[in-house]
Amino acid sequence: MEFMLINNISTGGSDLLALIVANITTINVGLIILLIDSLVILFGSIVIPETKIFYSAIVVTVGGCTTFIVTSYFKPKKTATKDK
């Protein structure tokens, strides 16, 4: 997923929303994904047992941090073009 986001390709859902917001702002897409997924877990904690919320929070944190790292350090290089 991270390599798709580097090339401005989304898998849909919250990733697409995060990619749109990241293109409009200067915020890293990984942080936006982490925020959106955290909000989903927060709202889900109303009906989901504590154990599953805890494990979901771990997965979201690891996924968001991994996306942040990959998209920060492996950005595609922009090539300069000459006008003819």
pLDDT for residue 58? 92
Q: What is the DSSP letter of 80?
A: P
- In one-letter notation, the amino acid at residue 66 is T
The pTM is what?
0.72
Confidence of residue 79 (pLDDT cuts 50, 70, 90): low
3-state secondary structure (DSSP) of residue 79: coil
Q: C-alpha distances in angstroms, 41 versus 21, 23, 29, 47, 81? A: 20, 24, 18, 10, 45
Q: What is the mean pLDDT of the chain?
A: 80
The pair of structure tokens assigned to 44 is 């889900």
